[in-house]
Structure 1
Amino acid sequence: MSSKTKGSKKLRDLIRVGVFSALWIAAGWIIGCTVGFFPPIMLALPCILAIFGALILVVMLSKITIRGGILISSFLFGICLFSMAPYGLMFICTFVGGIIGEILYDTVGKNNHAGKIIGVVCPMLGLALGEYIPLCYMQDAFKAFYAERITGNMANASMELINTPIVVVLTIVTILCAILGYLWGEKIAAKRLAKGGSDNGKRK
């Protein structure tokens, strides 16, 4: 009976991870398709996505008990970005960020602020690098990749605006935005607990 209960809890948590991953993907798609088609905003897109991505992840962590939530969500979100940059770099960076975030979340401490902040910031940082590295340092490949796409002009305009100092600034801003999203998500999770919800985020 106990094994059945544990199995049902694990299944419930996996469903929750899937739901929150879908929410993160939907938020990214809506933001990208509404404001992401303007070159200056395209460069700041990882910063904007970091706020909502971190918010969604930290609320998800408050509702699950299983390991791997950050990893799974980063993989699913990254898969949706596979065709957005040469060599699937946005997927690779986001997924690697998720792997690092999951490991640090478990080792630094999953029940303290430092562990949670590091855990949710890493995938957002990976997402940012997945855009900025090809956009700034792989421009020939990026131009060839977008040559036959309707968004090619936007990509070219963005490449004219970006350089190493801007990459550094935007990367730092992405980290700060992810922390802001974390704080926002913590407030939402705290309100849920105040209304009588259970703290499922304390994994054993």
Structure 2
Amino acid sequence: MPVEVHLRNAASSSEAAVARKRKTAASTPPPAAGNRWRTGAQQRIYGRRLLEAIRSARGESSAAATRPTPPSRIKEAADSALALTAQGRSRWSRAILSRRWRRRRLVVKATAKAAGGKIRRRRWAEKRRLKGKGEAAATKPRKVKERLRVLSRLVPGCRKASTPSLLEEAADYVAALEMQVRAMRALADALSSAAVAASTSTPASSASAD
């Protein structure tokens, strides 16, 4: 009988331990959306794609390598590499990936509508001025709504997103941009070190030749 009592006590204690583990797992919050951008593996993947995107932007010819690449093309290459690293799992990454296609269409439309663009811009400016007067006369401030509107314009692809989705996308986008800065700083340091090493090795090689 004491053996049976001991077995029952052991079984009940093990069940209690399992229940405690389940409760702890349920109460543990899921990892934040931006945590994946803080891993070293993700930064290495982005660094490799960033280098490939910059090489593609500069071109493979020797003539393209001799002239500096415009900063806008470097920024576009860095953002495209960032969106590819995100694998289209967010609104902002999908918006960046489709940006080039939209720009090509806008260039064609802008060429066709260049004549009537000035009149439309004047009408749009007048409407903005009248709208601004009406908002200034309003008694109830809407600072939160205005800030959300500004935030939706800063995060690609989120102008029509709901508030919870916008905040989630903004957190993920900021974490991705922080990782982008770290990767670009590491790439710049590596290029600077390579340039210094090349400049120091050139006089030594010429001296040995003499």
Tell whether the structures are fold-level matches, with TM greater than 0.5. Answer: no
- The alignment's TM-score, normalised by the length of structure 2, stands at 0.30
* TM-score, normalised via structure 1 length: 0.30
Pair member with larger Rg: 2
